[in-house]
Amino acid sequence: DTAVSQTPKYLVTQMGNDKSIKCEQNLGHDTMYWYKQDSKKFLKIMFSYNNKELIINETVPNRFSPKSPDKAHLNLHINSLELGDSAVYFCASSQDRAPLVTDTQYFGPGTRLTVL
Amino acid sequence: AQKVTQAQTEISVVEKEDVTLDCVYETRDTTYYLFWYKQPPSGELVFLIRRNSFDEQNEISGRYSWNFQKSTSSFNFTITASQVVDSAVYFCALSDRPGGGYQKVTFGIGTKLQVIP
């Protein structure tokens, strides 16, 4: 069983379209994340949700809107796609049990988004 | 502010050589965690190690070893007797809780390791 799964794995679309990437984790974790990895391999956090509540929202255009229907899912919706949105998007989850405990983040396989 | 510096962007070694990947971090928190992840050419991110700030003991796992030194804010990663399968991008990451809130993870830019047969 895959611990953190993302769909689709590849997404090719035209500029201006709206698209969604789905993420699901079956680890029972409380916290989920979205990361963007650009063409230079730089990994940057975009959002983090803990028990369906948004806790980290980095400087990301408001065309990006995360949605967490339950703590096992964190979907990423992107409106009006731009060329610069082309990247690999990784979902991750961690337990994040207590204020002074930081648990390992487990990553999904990534979604390669190409905007034409 | 949190920061992770991996000064080596690319390293090439010949198979069976030892190689050390450097990681230097900055944080204001006294409690924090450090990680190494491997990203092979296939693209997935593979967890290698987690170390908390109170545990400076070095760790060895097979051909992999990690040297954590708080005095120099470094968490270096050594691969002994490198193999072609070790070719990947390696990320060092820092997790802390800015302002005592929820954890935030900051990644370094990664070091691309190429092991030449």
> What is the tens place of the pLDDT at every residue in A50-87?
877 777 767 788 899 999 999 899 999 999 999 999 99
Which residues, in sequence order, are CB contacts of B97 under 8 Å at separation 6+?
A99, A100, A102, B29, B31, B103, B104
Q: State mean pLDDT over A26-48.
A: 89
Contacts of A40 in chain B (CB under 8 A): 109
Backbone phi, then psi, for A95, in 5-degree steps? -75, -45
pLDDT value for A79: 96
Q: What is the pLDDT of residue B11?
A: 97
**CB contacts, 8 Å: A44 with chain B:** 107
User: What is the residue-averaged pLDDT of chain B?
Assistant: 91
Q: Is A104 on the interface with B (CB under 8 A)?
A: yes
Contact of A27 with chain B, judged by CB distance below 8 Å, is answered with no
The residue in chain B having the minimum alpha-carbon distance to the alpha carbon of residue A109 is B44
Least confident of A2-16, A77-91, A94-108, B18-32: A94-108
Residue A97 tokens read as 């049990």
Q: How many CA atoms, within 13 angstroms, populate the side-chain half-sphere of residue A71?
A: 11
Across the interface, of B33, B103, B109, the residue whose CB is closest to A42 is B109
Residues in B closer than 8 angstroms to A4, CB to CB, are none
Q: Which of A11-20, B30-39, B107-116 comes out lowest in average pLDDT?
A: B30-39
Q: Which residue of B lies nearest to A43 if distances are taken between CA atoms?
A: B107
Predicted local confidence at residue A75, as pLDDT: 95
Structure confidence by residue, pLDDT tens digits, A1-28: 669 999 999 999 999 999 999 999 999 9
- pLDDT of A100 reads 47
What DSSP character marks residue A15?
A: T
